[in-house]
Structure 1
Amino acid sequence: MNVSKTVVGIDIAKRVFQLHWVDVNTGQIVSLQLKRDVFLAHFANRQQCLIGMECCGGAQHWARQLAMMGHEVKLLPARSVKPFVTGNKNDRHDARAIWTAVQQPHVKAAAVKTEEQQAMLALHRMRSQLVKFRTAQINCLRGLLTEYGEVMPQGKANLLKGIVEGLARLSERLPAMVIDTLRDQWARITRMDEEIDMIEQRINLWRKQEDACLRIAEIPGIGLLTATAAVAVIGDPKAFKSGREFAAFVGLVPRQVGTGGKTKLLGISKRGDVYLRTLFINGARAVLSRSTDPGPWATELCKRRPFNVAVVALANKMARTVWALLAHDRKYQKGFVSQPVQG
């Protein structure tokens, strides 16, 4: 870190921004509150600063704007800032905590994403939300039909097969307004299917145009969603020192408890992006359960460890492979064996 740079901690909000810094020349502690419309103008007239902000809504936008002015910006996870908050929680104390955390060498900063990468993540979030809504609607419809003796098998495909006949049978016993409402709910589920398909088509269009997505899509278990989400979440792969660090960010490495020189490994940490971790694990599960040739490493692992443990281990390996291909700009090679760095 360049000591000549002024370090500024910023607690951002919708309309009010709290700043905290120490003047490098006089040692004066400054706590300043700015309105949204004058926030960028304040930094446009300042020398280059090291700016720290929490990863929250709008942080990526402001990071890009400040970086274009020549400032160095670091986005810090909220859990890394929280230990430095002293006293009652308020904007002034939060800005001071960010100012302290951004200067700690052990605190890892998140990569600043481009607008294109954020746009892809927005598509993924909207698709994920629609899938949740669709699942809730299907469960609600199945529960209502069960109340009248029409038990539908689990799964959307099974519900599709029996819903028409089930509603036809119920129409002979129930009022028409109830049947019409049930049919409206089923039509709503169909519209959600169409919206989800439309979003997936747009995601696929971006995948075809992005070389990084095409390269990591060659990895077994990495499909359309995982490839595009991984590229968008990683941002700049150089933000991670190694594939293991990226796997730890996703939450696919064991938690550790150590004391007295003894370390005990627990379950996976489940830190980082829940959505991306789910995609990796589902992809690994598909490889081990459906692929006829998952590879010698995965085959031997399944022989000596429980299936779910093998799934998470393969997901960890997939995450490391994704980082390696992106960080070193390489193509996937089946059966590739990494070599230690010489010298």
Structure 2
Amino acid sequence: MKLTPVGIDIAKNVFQVHHVDEETGEIVNKPIKRAKFLAYFANRAPCLIGMEASGGSQHWARLLTAMGHQVKLMSGQYVKAFNIRNKKDPADARAIWLAVQQPGKPVAVKTEMQQAMLALHRMREQLVKFRTMQINALRGLLTEYGQVMGKGRLSLDRAIPDVLARVADRLPAALIDTLREQWNGLSALDGQIAAIERRMREWKKEDRDVRAIAEIPGVGLLTSTAAVATIGDPKTFRSGREFAACIGLVPKQVGSGGKLMLLGISKRGDTYLRMLLIHGARSVVSSPKQHDPWIEQMKKRRPLNVVIVALANKMARIIWAILAHGRPYQDGYVSARPV
């Protein structure tokens, strides 16, 4: 059954819809208000609906899929190539309509539970960044008064009580009290981050897939929960190599005239998950308990950072294999293609 392609430029209040009417051949490109958006597709035959993977797209994709439509979420960079004129809502909807008819890997439509877990990761990441900003701000402000402290939270906690005592007699009390409040506020941020991690651990106990990939060396609480929430349906990827390429853990290729050159990793796809995998791989490579012959052979032939990225790529492929085939992790397992 051939599905009618439809391009939708979603927004907060007014959506732009572009498609060609099959009966009359009329080009339809019109705005639809948010309240009437679902009603417009409620009684239509199943369509192939394309949308940019932006804010709110996952919510509308779930609702439209429940109506029987096929939804394809696409990266904004992919859609932009089809907009050949000025950027405006009708032109964007037409570009999406053109893009949805082309072959390409769509962005996975996630369940509400998976999206909720990613929201926890985003909030935790924001709190960690804010905590780092607070630490650096305290160190920088006190440097202006000749008080230099070492990097890191531990050095700050050890030094700041004595530092504040030394400068208390020559600085206004308002500043000293504010600096002390900012330092005490770090403990509150620690508590919020710990609470989010505790909720992640509770989800890990309940989710079989998270527990399965957490057995992989270098895959901890953050990586396992983020991977399951990010990958969506693992069957959308044909292989572990495709999943690793999707998150940018493969060389960038540049070629012309039949000559191909491999550069550093492409850094495409999910930046957060790629960062977690690389950090996990670094912990495995630097661990004194590490005795993997594959890693030892790689370290003899390649620079350390290349070995770390190679291991991160391998971890991504193992994660896909476990989720796609429903198998537990087996140390030393060798995959073999059927004859």
TM-score (norm 2): 0.98
Residue of structure 1 in register with 2:13 after alignment: 15
Q: Displacement, 1:291?
A: 4.2
Aligned pairs for 1:241-256 within 5 A: 241-256=238-253
Secondary structure, in 3 states, of the residue corresponding to 1:290?
A: coil
Question: Is it true that 1:82 corresponds to 2:69 in the alignment?
Answer: no
Give the distance between the partners of 2:175 and 2:269, measured in 1 at CA: 44
Give the distance between the partners of 2:318 and 2:77, measured in 1 at CA: 27
Tell whether the 8 Å contact from 1:247 to 1:253 is kept in structure 2 after alignment.
yes
Aligned-residue identity in percent: 62
Amino acid at match of 2:145: Y
Amino acid at match of 1:329: G
Aligned pairs for 1:7-156 within 5 A: 7-105=5-103, 107-156=104-153
Give the distance between the partners of 1:70 and 1:235, measured in 2 at CA: 19
Pick aligned residue for 1:204 from 182, 201, 204: 201
Change (3 A) 1:246 1:170: same
Question: Is it true that 1:169 corresponds to 2:179 in the alignment?
Answer: no
Pick aligned residue for 2:178 from 181, 189, 212: 181
Aligned pairs for 1:205-220 within 5 A: 205-220=202-217
Q: Displacement, 1:294?
A: 4.5
Moved more, 51-60 or 18-27: 18-27
Amino acid at match of 1:62: W
Secondary structure, in 3 states, of the residue corresponding to 1:225?
A: helix
Change (3 A) 1:294 1:40: farther
Tell whether the 8 Å contact from 1:112 to 1:235 is kept in structure 2 after alignment.
yes
In structure 2, runs of 5+ residues without a counterpart are none
Secondary structure, in 3 states, of the residue corresponding to 1:222?
A: coil
Give the distance between the partners of 1:310 and 1:24, measured in 2 at CA: 54
Question: Is it true that 1:336 corresponds to 2:338 in the alignment?
Answer: no
Q: Displacement, 1:58?
A: 0.1
Aligned pairs for 1:219-230 within 5 A: 219-230=216-227
Give the distance between the partners of 2:301 and 2:319, measured in 1 at CA: 26
Superposed CA deviations along residues 60-94 of structure 1, whole A, max 9, x for unmatched, are: 00000001111111101111111111211111111
Give the distance between the partners of 1:100 and 1:151, measured in 2 at CA: 58
Give the distance between the partners of 2:197 and 2:101, measured in 1 at CA: 41
Give the distance between the partners of 1:324 and 1:283, measured in 2 at CA: 18
Superposed CA deviations along residues 26-71 of structure 1, whole A, max 9, x for unmatched, are: 3221112100000001111111111010000000000000011111
Q: Displacement, 1:149?
A: 2.0
Moved more, 18-27 or 86-95: 18-27
Superposed CA deviations along residues 240-282 of structure 1, whole A, max 9, x for unmatched, are: 1111111111111110011121211001000111111100000
Moved more, 54-63 or 159-168: 159-168
Secondary structure, in 3 states, of the residue corresponding to 1:75?
A: strand
Secondary structure, in 3 states, of the residue corresponding to 1:196?
A: helix
Give the distance between the partners of 2:326 and 2:22, measured in 1 at CA: 40
Moved more, 285-294 or 196-205: 285-294
Tell whether the 8 Å contact from 1:288 to 1:294 is kept in structure 2 after alignment.
no
Q: Displacement, 1:172?
A: 2.7
Question: Is it true that 1:285 corresponds to 2:276 in the alignment?
Answer: no
Tell whether the 8 Å contact from 1:9 to 1:98 is kept in structure 2 after alignment.
yes
Amino acid at match of 2:139: R
Residue of structure 2 in register with 1:327 after alignment: 324
In structure 1, runs of 5+ residues without a counterpart are none
